[in-house]
Amino acid sequence: MKRIYLDHASSMPVDPRVLEFAKPYLTKKMGNPSSLHSVGLGAKQAVEDARKKITKFINAENEKSIIFTGSATEANNLAIRGTALRNIARGKTVTASAIEHISVLNSMKNLQKNGFIFNVIPVDSTGIVDPGKLDSLMTKNTVVTSIMYANNEIGTIEPIKKISEIVHDKGIYLHVDATAAAGRIPVDVQNDGIDLLTFSSNDLYGPQGAGALYIKPGVKLQPVLLGGGQERGLRSGTENIFAIAGMGEAAGIIQNEMTQESNRLKKIRNKLIDEILQIDETYLTGHPTKRLPHHASFRFSHIEGESILLNMDMYNIQIATGSACSSKTLEPSHVLLAIGLKHEEAHGSMVITLGRSNTLEEIPLITKAVTETVQRLRKLSPLYQKGGD
């Protein structure tokens, strides 16, 4: 049975071109960038070359504005905790949307335990941040506001430029988690008015183990990881040369191919949405049009998301779910609750994220598997049987 991988928001395969480019940094070019001999200097050059590619990828002002980290989660921690603690004299309020990644929310909750005020911005039923509600929560003491570029679970794209105007009118710094968006849609930190931006290597078809944080010139941060002072003293630790070199190469490739690939995936996404919504009591989650081109997310009444995931895997089709199992907690997805779903509704979700390997020809196989899975699980559900009486 052919494998159909539909969980690219969770993990992407490394592009073969990226692997070929970065492979030598695991063997012959494995030097430490802090070493002064020729092998070390070669490794340092690899890091700087990657930094240049990333700078171009997001239209940053200069290479010094890019800091490499071990992951997007680490970059989020550095952006939020580092900025808040470094600028504590300017304010002790932090703000984030209700649908941010858990690494953003937990970073702000950690600051809250240490005397900061943490304000949560509500979203509408499609996941869009309400500019009016954002404006009412902002004060001159709001040192960091975090709004993701697009949500990884429901695919909704936020009006970042408008949000930036509000934040800078009443607050101080805007942090944007672009992990789900970068490589899918254009991200331009200067045009969008972004002060700090997070993204990840593996979400660009690069190796796991590298992330990056853009820091606008003039923004001051306090390091959260102490050591030898690498990455301008903001991220200590020996650099992962293989992952960083691969991330730079991946960014260059995806930038050149993004428009064509996104248009291709949008056609597959739209067809999948049309087909799957034919199933009884099935609903699209997220915004119907302002969504990532590779993203389709649904909820099904009367069944559990983790059961959907496991049943789909029996067809050798890998999907994601926003229910309790995927978040490793006993609670349903905070994103689905934030858009107004009840607990029982939030448990029955399915998230499909497409990638380079997916084709239009796979659609009948996917829709057949989803239809049979939903029918099978509903037959086992006492809630669905009760609803049919």
Pairing, β 196-200 against β 211-215 = antiparallel
Asked whether the beta carbons of 177 and 100 are under 8 A apart, the reply is yes
**CB neighbours (10 Å) of residue 156?**
27
* Cα separation, 126 vs 154, whole angstroms: 8
Q: What's the alpha-carbon Rg for the chain, to the nearest Å? A: 21
| Per-residue 3-state assignment (H helix, E strand, C coil) for 117-132 | EEEEECECCCCCECHH
Quote the DSSP letter at residue 222.
Answer: -
Concerning whether 173 is annotated as a catalytic residue, the answer is no
Which residues, in sequence order, are CB contacts of 10 under 8 Å at separation 6+? 320, 353
Which is catalytic among the residues 85, 185, 225, 325? 325
Strand partners, 351: 297, 320
Residue with tokens 């679970």: 153
Reported in sequence order, the residue ranges of the chain that DSSP labels E, i.e. its strands, are: 4-5, 66-69, 93-97, 117-121, 142-146, 173-177, 196-200, 211-215, 282-284, 295-300, 317-318, 349-353
* Cα separation, 78 vs 69, whole angstroms: 9
Could you tell me which of 213, 248, 246 has the C-alpha nearest to residue 64? 213
* Cα separation, 163 vs 278, whole angstroms: 36
Asked whether the beta carbons of 193 and 210 are under 8 A apart, the reply is no
Provide DSSP, 237-294: S---HHHHHHHHHHHHHHHHHHHHHHHHHHHHHHHHHHHHTTSTTEEE-S-SSSB-TT
Catalytic residues: 325
